[in-house]
Chains A and B, each alone.
Chain A
Amino acid sequence: MNRANPAPVDPVTRQLIRGSLRAARLECELIIERTAMSAFIREKKDYTVSFLDRHGQEIYGDTMGSDILGCVWQHYPVESMRPGDLYWYNDPYLSEGSITHTPDMVFIAPVFYDDEIVAYCHSFAHFWDLGGSRPGSIGPANTEIFHDGTLVPPIKIIDAGRLNDEAYRIILRNSRYPDLLEGDSRALMSAASRAQERLLEMFDRFGKQTMLDSIDNDQADTARLVRDKTLELIPEGEYSVRDYMDHAGLGDHWHSFHLKLSRKGEEILLDASGSDDQADGSINFIASDGALKAYFGQYFHQFDTSLLANHGLLAGIDAVKLRNGSILRPEWPAALGCRAHTFTKLKSAVRAVLAQATDGNVMAGAAVYVIAYWRMKDHDTGTWLLCTDGIAVGHGARPFGDGLDAIYQRHNENYPGEFMEMEYPLRLERYAISIDSGGPGKYRGGCGVIRDVRLLADEGTFGLRVENSLFPTWGVAGGMGGGISRVVQNTGTPEEKEIRPFSDDNVWKRGDLVRIYTAGGGGWGDPLERDVAMVLDDVLDGFVSIEAARENYGAVIDLEAQRVDETATEVQRKQIRAARGDTKMFHRFNYFQTESEEFRWVNRNIPRPIKNHVDR
């Protein structure tokens, strides 16, 4: 990538270097996992370590096309950097979206070999709290970046091995939980420094020029893979997708983004300028060209996973068009804290684009992972406690099998109920699969969950970052959309009330119970083609109700005998098929073939502004 024709390196050495990079990354990430303080990092595992080349482009890691170094160099030119330096920032605007919300902190160490910078190491994690409007910093009610937390522009936190104590004290002073902040930042610093040591050892072992050539070759190979597969799988034409966010935390109207991928000859362009204007609330997402390119590249990487995920992931798309002031390119100082709503749907939308190019051969839409901010006043000390609870959702069904039930997002883990109850005045009374939440399909979408949390402290508030309460996930290739999310307080009692799923400052008092139903993933393929034995299993295990089995899958089940009534099923399926007609590429509310077809339907049926869609 950096040089058109890097000198070839023999394939054995290449593989040795790749293997060593993988092992080094594992080791450094382990340091973070074992030593970080906040539960967000150690239980939810929201951290990564990446290696970048001397141009700031990824060698191996998880920076997903972001320009990590750009804003650092603006303040600290390369010539000013010294061995033992460590840079820190969390500023989404200065970094132009290489960081997308303020809790995400990056630490960057230049790696010096023979007195020159040969690479950079990067450690990243989502921190617990640094300033902002409420404990946990970000939240549904924020409207400015200042509400989202204290901004750390790129600073040199360690100067040639010496900790910048003044800056560190200012930052720690801005957190409600300085101990956690200290522990987490120490863990990240330690990981970055270990990463640096390992890279230096590799330069010693393989030689400087061989390392540099090998890195360039790796990037070129991944680029070649992504480019080839893009051209192979995407025929000439235009592919458009629109997805919708329920609302922005405040206000009552939905927002949408629009992606159009077009291929003309060998040129591939991605145009996101048809997206809505930026939102008043915190769901804005600063998309960078690199990130959008990398989302596509990540899909094509699966065709040769022996290659490293690196800067080459960006090679599929030639140019990206974004519009300033849109929800994907918001202007300062828009709030960004809950951008997960937008970017999770954006990642699914990449698959919706590819679905059109590949006749539906992709995973269906995945629900947006959920965060609940449980806040409670500690009776003894009078201080406020915060439990940031990451909750699972259902993921999309795949062309070969069912979607994943109850997954947060990739490898992130939940809090055990026993941990929550031990650490907080909360009781987790129910943690179950949410029946019928998976989108019906030949392969069923993953189910979301039900989480019942009761407050044992005298008073508290809670914030909810729950999407998909209005717009469910989409099904594909004949599969249907997933079930929606919902939040209810004191269900089944005279005080029962619906809670707006994306909201903050909800009040609860001792004994109140909040129930969250999270959304499911979309289905894949025609549900009438689902193997009835799989439907029966789903019914017996509580993933699908007997009614839904009949209505959505046309499967008639005799619960007493624990078997499928084959004859009745055949009749039922015939009837559904006749009433329904042919399936189409996508489904959400209805089957539709193109995004404009759905857009018309949505505008007719869910006009904006939406009338308060939650009954209070």
Chain B
Amino acid sequence: MPRYALAVDVGGTFTDLLLCELETGWQFVHKTPSTPDDPSIGFLTGLTEILEKTSADPASLVHILHGTTIATNSVLENKGAPVGLLVTSGYKYVLEIARHGTPRLANPNTWVKPVRPVRPRDCREMNERTTFDGAILQPVDEIEIARAAQHFARAGVEAIAVAFLHSYANPSNEQRAREIMRRELPDVPVSLSSEVLPVYREYERAITTVLNAYVTPRVSRYIDNLKGSLTSLNTPATLSIMKSNGGIIGADTAVSQPVYTSLSGPAAGVIATAQIAQTAGISNCISFDMGGTSTDVSLLRDGRPGLTLNGKLGDWPIQLPMLDIATIGCGGGSIAAVSPYGSLTVGPDSAGADPGPACYGRGATSPTVTDANLVLGRVSTQIAGGQLSLDTRAAEKTILRAVAEPLGMELSSAASGIIRIANNAMVGAIRNISVERGHDPRDFALVAYGGAGPMHAIDVANLLGIETVVVPAHPGITSASGLLVAEFKNDYARTVPQQAGDFDVSGIAEVFDRLEREGRDWLATEGVPTPSHNLIRSADLRYSHQGSELTVPYRNPYVDESGLRDLVEEFHQQHNQLYGFSLEQPVEIVTLRVTASGQVGATNISTPLGADQPVSTEVRTDRPESFRPVYFDAMAKFVECPIYRRDDLAQGSLIEGPAILEGMDSTVVVNPGWLGSVDQHGNFIMRGQGH
């Protein structure tokens, strides 16, 4: 009997499903509408449908891999549970005061402080104290905690967060607080800051822990619900969830650290990018995922995405390791407008799903990037395989009225201007993520997906000096395909400040050992066989007095003086590469980290999605399905442009720009001067010929 893995990625509009037969790599794609009120409905509908369509037996499903936005949406839509917070005496207002800043570019006349997930009345101060080096100055007072429990019960609290000062250095006061809370309120889940984010900076640790508590009840109900349904479907499949760091974790682990899943969907897309790039023989690339309201970009060096500790979830900093993905508030639905003093802006306002772009014909009066694409012929009036028709007249009218006429421009130059301004915003963001990490984007290829990514990719590549653009076979389900190839992965960290020039070698070794033990234990519970355990050590270092650290891999197999010397040396090098200078000054270690990862044998699907074929050298000459006038900036005019059906192209197809490829879920624009070909994995690889 064949065995299957199923990837389910829940997006805002569609739930994407991808079924893969483990032995042969054969894959089947299915999309079903998402059900935002209860995403498990869409999940199960899709599951039933894909099993029916493929006649696969539920009993043959071994793995279900899931990308979910449930934690993210709970935070963004303020739909989390009522939370009670325990803090150290004196710190009741840690969330209200935060770091006392407004966002850097915010106007203090108009900026409004976001409402915290816990109000001060539900933050209780406990008389307890730990110092930064882990000494317990004052243990917790059981009676005081029991009293807080009574308050929480009266206040209807459904989850509790504990964030005591310096608990990263010694978690025992927090652990004791949890024991007492469990005794008093056995059904209320408790999140400890020393488990969720055991690193220094009390506000960031507290808010992350509070958000974890805030989403726990909903995530836990959701997972229970899914597991129950899988059981009743008679499938033995294990359920795993994608995390923000690009790894997967078992559903039970996800319930205890739900905040770790907050960037689930975009992370899966980046993991897929790594796979796509690998099959296309590209080691350095930038993922470019342009959707309706925003665009996500990230940088992959030597095939590996970067991690950041400076992530955000809505208004809140989340200092958990997550894939370094930059989000730009610009997508197909971004609105173009002329300001009172005549500047033409695109975004950050978006037409959203309703009313959507003007061309959707739902009465929108503001032109969007999608309208501009339509007016210029870059997208067909029939999309989604004919399921949606677009109204060119409506698009033209809004662009004329809102942009072209006020600025005295031709319709086509106004429309192309909208696209160029949107692209420029992308370029700025891609530049920033590249240079922030000391790289030149010209050394990278662009991997474009998402509904609008392949339409804008070449324009963006031209501006960045990028010479290669890759569009995978099914750009609309990239995240789902990433789920299939992700590894199990969890991060463990402990802040252990080590004063400059005076490293405690055995202390460091001990902490690394402890973190590795935690990692191995977890991998074992996920069923990852011991030989596949992969444990990677790293450390956050800085020059004494610096306030942000660089994470540097610890490469030496032993923790000793020479290994630490190498670590410090690599820190100097990284600093120089990133910032253009290094200093002959003392270096300190702040946080030690271990990343534990491993593949459960059966999820090792090496073939990406696509019409995988034997390598062929045959060059096919494809005939366009039709022609239509399309405007290209470089020519500053409409040209009669060949239109191809993406699905008709096969390995070896060569397409010369100008050309347009229309697929089920996205459109590829091949600019003049670019040549595209289909490789044996179904990737469409375009190269600029002018360079």
Give the B-binding residues of A (Cβ under 8 A).
10-12, 14-16, 18-20, 22-23, 26-27, 29-31, 33-39, 42-43, 45, 179-180, 182-183, 186-187, 190, 193-194, 221-222, 224-225, 299, 302-307, 363, 366, 392, 395, 398, 401, 404-408, 410-414, 416-419, 421-422, 428-433, 449, 452, 537, 540-542
Interface window among B59-67, B513-521, B522-530, B576-584? B576-584
B104 touches A45 (CB 8 A): yes
Say whether B436 faces chain A, with CB atoms less than 8 Å apart: yes
Residues of B within 8 A of A392 (CB): 97, 100
Those of B61-114 within 8 Å (CB) of chain A: 89-94, 96-113
Say whether B339 faces chain A, with CB atoms less than 8 Å apart: yes
Other A-B pairs, 14, CB within 8 Å; known A19-B425, A366-B108, A421-B132: A10-B409, A15-B424, A23-B427, A23-B432, A29-B104, A30-B436, A39-B545, A179-B544, A404-B111, A404-B113, A411-B102, A414-B100, A418-B165, A542-B92
A190 touches B342 (CB 8 A): no
Could you tell me the distance between the alpha carbons of A507 and B253 in the complex, rounded to whole angstroms? 53
The 8 closest A-B pairs by CB, nearest first: A23-B428, A12-B417, A430-B90, A42-B547, A306-B339, A392-B100, A413-B99, A541-B120
Q: A27-B431, A302-B107, A431-B90 are in contact. Are A12 and B420 (CB under 8 A)?
A: yes
A416 touches B200 (CB 8 A): yes
A411 touches B104 (CB 8 A): yes
Q: Which residue of B lies closest to A184 (CB)?
A: B545
A183 touches B345 (CB 8 A): no
B93 touches A416 (CB 8 A): no
Q: How far is the CB of B579 from chain A (nearest CB, A)?
A: 5
Q: Which of B110, B119, B420, B575 contacts A398 (CB 8 A)?
A: B110
Residues of A within 8 A of B232 (CB): none
B424 touches A224 (CB 8 A): no
Q: How far is the CB of B433 from chain A (nearest CB, A)?
A: 10
Could you tell me the distance between the alpha carbons of A15 and B409 in the complex, rounded to whole angstroms? 15
Residues of B within 8 A of A542 (CB): 92-93, 120-121
Q: How far is the CB of A371 from chain B (nearest CB, A)?
A: 13
B431 touches A23 (CB 8 A): yes
Say whether B324 faces chain A, with CB atoms less than 8 Å apart: no
Residues of A within 8 A of B200 (CB): 416, 418-419, 422
Residues of A within 8 A of B578 (CB): 34
Could you tell me the distance between the alpha carbons of A452 and B416 in the complex, rounded to whole angstroms? 58
Residues of B within 8 A of A23 (CB): 427-429, 431-432
Residues of B within 8 A of A31 (CB): 579-580
A407 touches B102 (CB 8 A): yes
A-B contact pairs, 29 of them (CB 8 A): A10-B413, A11-B417, A15-B424, A23-B427, A27-B432, A29-B104, A30-B436, A39-B547, A183-B545, A183-B583, A190-B579, A194-B435, A221-B341, A221-B343, A299-B109, A304-B341, A363-B108, A404-B111, A406-B96, A407-B101, A410-B106, A411-B103, A412-B100, A418-B165, A431-B97, A432-B90, A432-B97, A449-B97, A542-B120
A421 touches B131 (CB 8 A): yes
Q: Which of A11, A45, A224, A395 contacts B101 (CB 8 A)?
A: A45
B101 touches A404 (CB 8 A): no
Q: How far is the CB of B427 from chain A (nearest CB, A)?
A: 8
Contact string against A for B residues 539-559, beta-carbon threshold 8 Å, 1 for contact and 0 otherwise? 000011111100000000000
Say whether B340 faces chain A, with CB atoms less than 8 Å apart: yes
Q: How far is the CB of B407 from chain A (nearest CB, A)?
A: 5
Q: Which of A179, A180, A414, A418 contacts B132 (CB 8 A)?
A: A418
Q: Which residue of A lies closest to B103 (CB)?
A: A411
A302 touches B109 (CB 8 A): yes
Q: A183-B545, A302-B107 are in contact. Are A12 and B201 (CB under 8 A)?
A: no
Could you tell me the distance between the alpha carbons of A194 and B432 in the complex, rounded to whole angstroms? 12
B202 touches A418 (CB 8 A): yes
Those of B374-420 within 8 Å (CB) of chain A: 407, 409, 413, 416-417, 420
A183 touches B546 (CB 8 A): yes
Residues of A within 8 A of B111 (CB): 404
Q: Which of A22, A225, A410, A540 contacts B121 (CB 8 A)?
A: A540
Could you tell me the distance between the alpha carbons of A208 and B342 in the complex, rounded to whole angstroms? 23
Q: How far is the CB of B559 from chain A (nearest CB, A)?
A: 23
Residues of A within 8 A of B543 (CB): 37, 183
Could you tell me the distance between the alpha carbons of A493 and B201 in the complex, rounded to whole angstroms? 31
Could you tell me the distance between the alpha carbons of A542 and B125 in the complex, rounded to whole angstroms? 13
Could you tell me the distance between the alpha carbons of A252 and B112 in the complex, rounded to whole angstroms? 38
Residues of B within 8 A of A18 (CB): 343
Could you tell me the distance between the alpha carbons of A16 and B420 in the complex, rounded to whole angstroms? 8
Say whether B25 faces chain A, with CB atoms less than 8 Å apart: no
Could you tell me the distance between the alpha carbons of A224 and B580 in the complex, rounded to whole angstroms? 40
Residues of B within 8 A of A35 (CB): 546, 575, 579, 581
Could you tell me the distance between the alpha carbons of A405 and B98 in the complex, rounded to whole angstroms? 10
Q: Which of A11, A42, A413 contacts B407 (CB 8 A)?
A: A11
Say whether B646 faces chain A, with CB atoms less than 8 Å apart: no
Could you tell me the distance between the alpha carbons of A428 and B94 in the complex, rounded to whole angstroms? 12
Say whether B203 faces chain A, with CB atoms less than 8 Å apart: yes
A422 touches B424 (CB 8 A): no
Could you tell me the distance between the alpha carbons of A222 and B339 in the complex, rounded to whole angstroms? 12
Q: A27-B435, A45-B101, A395-B108 are in contact. Are A417 and B96 (CB under 8 A)?
A: no
Q: Which residue of B lies closest to A540 (CB)?
A: B121
B113 touches A405 (CB 8 A): yes
Could you tell me the distance between the alpha carbons of A419 and B549 in the complex, rounded to whole angstroms? 13
Residues of B within 8 A of A34 (CB): 436, 548, 578-579
B100 touches A407 (CB 8 A): yes
Q: Which of B93, B341, B342, B429 contacts A431 (CB 8 A)?
A: B93
A14 touches B341 (CB 8 A): no
Could you tell me the distance between the alpha carbons of A299 and B107 in the complex, rounded to whole angstroms? 10
Residues of B within 8 A of A42 (CB): 546-548
Residues of A within 8 A of B579 (CB): 31, 34-35, 187, 190
Say whether B226 faces chain A, with CB atoms less than 8 Å apart: no
Residues of A within 8 A of B107 (CB): 302, 305
Residues of A within 8 A of B29 (CB): none
Could you tell me the distance between the alpha carbons of A76 and B182 in the complex, rounded to whole angstroms? 72
Residues of B within 8 A of A27 (CB): 431-432, 435-436
Q: Which of A22, A38, A299, A306 contacts B343 (CB 8 A)?
A: A306
B545 touches A38 (CB 8 A): yes
Q: How far is the CB of B644 from chain A (nearest CB, A)?
A: 30
Say whether B306 faces chain A, with CB atoms less than 8 Å apart: no
B90 touches A16 (CB 8 A): no
Q: A398-B110, A408-B101, A418-B165 are in contact. Are A11 and B545 (CB under 8 A)?
A: no
Could you tell me the distance between the alpha carbons of A307 and B343 in the complex, rounded to whole angstroms? 7
Those of B336-372 within 8 Å (CB) of chain A: 338-346
B110 touches A186 (CB 8 A): no
Residues of B within 8 A of A179 (CB): 544-545, 583, 585
A22 touches B548 (CB 8 A): no
Q: Which residue of A lies closest to B578 (CB)?
A: A34
Q: How far is the CB of A282 from chain B (nearest CB, A)?
A: 24
Say whether B166 faces chain A, with CB atoms less than 8 Å apart: yes
A406 touches B97 (CB 8 A): yes
B102 touches A404 (CB 8 A): yes
Residues of B within 8 A of A540 (CB): 119, 121
Say whether B497 faces chain A, with CB atoms less than 8 Å apart: yes
A19 touches B97 (CB 8 A): no
Could you tell me the distance between the alpha carbons of A182 and B543 in the complex, rounded to whole angstroms? 12
Say whether B421 faces chain A, with CB atoms less than 8 Å apart: yes
Could you tell me the distance between the alpha carbons of A23 and B110 in the complex, rounded to whole angstroms? 23
Q: Which residue of B lies closest to A23 (CB)?
A: B428
Q: How far is the CB of A1 from chain B (nearest CB, A)?
A: 15
Q: A416-B203, A432-B92 are in contact. Are A11 and B420 (CB under 8 A)?
A: no
Q: How far is the CB of B505 from chain A (nearest CB, A)?
A: 21
Could you tell me the distance between the alpha carbons of A432 and B100 in the complex, rounded to whole angstroms? 12
Residues of A within 8 A of B104 (CB): 29, 45, 411
Q: Which residue of B lies closest to A414 (CB)?
A: B100
Could you tell me the distance between the alpha carbons of A34 and B550 in the complex, rounded to whole angstroms? 10
Q: How far is the CB of B432 from chain A (nearest CB, A)?
A: 5
Q: Which residue of B lies closest to A390 (CB)?
A: B100
Could you tell me the distance between the alpha carbons of A411 and B575 in the complex, rounded to whole angstroms? 25
